[in-house]
Amino acid sequence: MPSKTTTILAYPGALQSAVFGLQDFLSHTGLNPKIVTNSAEFGLKSDTILLPPATQSVDPKTHPELLDGLKAAAESGALICSACVGVTWIAAAGLDAGRAVTTHWSVAPQLRKDWPQLHVDTDQLVIEHQNLVTAGGMMAWVDLALIVIERLAGHEVMLNTARHFVVEPVRRDQRRFQRFRPILDHGDAQVLRTQTYLERVLDQPISVSNLAQNAGLSERSLQRRFSAATGFNLTRYLQNLRMERAKSLLADSRIPVAEVAAQSGYSDLPAFHRVFSRITGMTPAGFRKSVWSQPTTS
């Protein structure tokens, strides 16, 4: 079992049944999460932080110390997760960094009013990024728990947990076995900024010069520091990241492969096929067939 520090932030107004439900799910796997309620406890190092749902709106601005703790954790590479209203803390702390998030459909209008730049997509139950996971409905904390268990303890442990609690492992499938998991806790803030930025612009043309400008570094310095921090050069890292998006689109939708390629940043379809086949060992169509033909795990 990997040694990971997991924190459940029981912020004022958090749904207590979800707080203790998350604790039960994660404790079953041996992850043993810590429930914290104040800034003194929250200041402890956490690899993963979970923000439970709430039955009513919350105002994170009244607890700046918790927002500061979230920001510091994110900057150190922690995985930040929310269910339902919990995404309010992510919005207030600016942890979305322009990436899409989800929440309960009834919460979305107020979120858009309070944070006009926030990209809220309530059509999706769960939206996963490298270091950010948001889940939609009040009971979506169950899906969130399974995702965190899978990321920290592995696919089989997640499936065994779902069987134990008799819940459906929603959106969990074989692609997760070899999912690209980049290093985020390397301590280089500018490299982490670049990693987050790449997620946001995957479907767009990307140049090293633009990345360097965004990071405030020279191209040479960015490439050197990026490789040292992540273990990948920028080209190989970007290819892996784009293939993760392609795998998600192939598994979760029926859109044509050409559109999958475009949304993954490839205008050249043959090039997309070559990279996808090299990284996954199968064609995009073959991958989609293998995922969609899998039986549901009960």
pLDDT per position as a tens digit, 155-165? 889 999 999 99
pLDDT per position as a tens digit, 6-44? 999 999 999 999 999 999 999 999 999 999 987 677 766
Query: Could you tell me which residues come within 8 angstroms of residue 197 by beta carbon, excluding any fewer than 6 positions away?
Result: 97, 211, 214, 215
Q: Is 131 helix (H, G, I), strand (E, B) or coil?
A: coil
This prediction has a pTM of 0.74
Question: Is residue 296's pLDDT more than 80?
Answer: no
Average pLDDT over residues 194-222: 94
Question: Is residue 207's pLDDT more than 80?
Answer: yes
Q: What percent of the chain has pLDDT over 70?
A: 92
Domains of the chain by start residue, with CATH:
6-172 (3.40.50.880), 189-292 (1.10.10.60)
pLDDT per position as a tens digit, 243-290? 999 998 998 889 999 999 999 999 999 999 999 999 888 899 998 887
Average pLDDT over residues 228-234: 93
pLDDT score, position 171: 54
Q: How far apart are the first and last CA of the chain?
A: 24
pLDDT per position as a tens digit, 102-142? 999 899 999 999 999 999 998 888 899 989 999 998 899 99
Average pLDDT over residues 202-212: 93
pLDDT, the chain, mean: 89
More confident residue, 154 or 91: 91
Question: Is residue 81's pLDDT more than 60?
Answer: yes
pLDDT band of residue 4 (cuts 50, 70, 90) is low
What is the crossing angle of helices 16-28 and 155-165, to 10°?
A: 120
Residues 275 and 239: beta-carbon distance below 8 Å = yes
pLDDT band of residue 175 (cuts 50, 70, 90) is very low
